[in-house]
Amino acid sequence: MTTDNPQWFTSSYSNNGGQCIEVATNLPGTVPVRDTKDRDAGTLTFSADSWSAFVRFASDRSV
């Protein structure tokens, strides 16, 4: 799915009192990330490959 506007979502694991991020995965080749508590503060943008590597790294270290 490709659109000009990011479609934001949070993880189903994000029920931790608002300490979470939102990501959009509908933009080819790029993954914008923003703070759920301050959506207007801007975004960090990662390449899809970099984001996938980060998620793999984080999931390998989860408890």
The predicted structure's pLDDT at residue 32:
96
pLDDT along the chain (63 residues), means of 10: 75 71 92 91 94 91 65
Instruction: Name the residue among 53, 54, 61, 12 with its Cα closest to residue 22.
Output: 12
Sign of CA dihedral 3, 32, 21, 41: negative
Compute the distance between CA of residue 55 and CA of residue 58 in angstroms, rounded to an integer: 5
Helix (H) or strand (E) holding 53: helix 48-60
Angstrom distance (rounded) from CA 60 to CA 35: 23
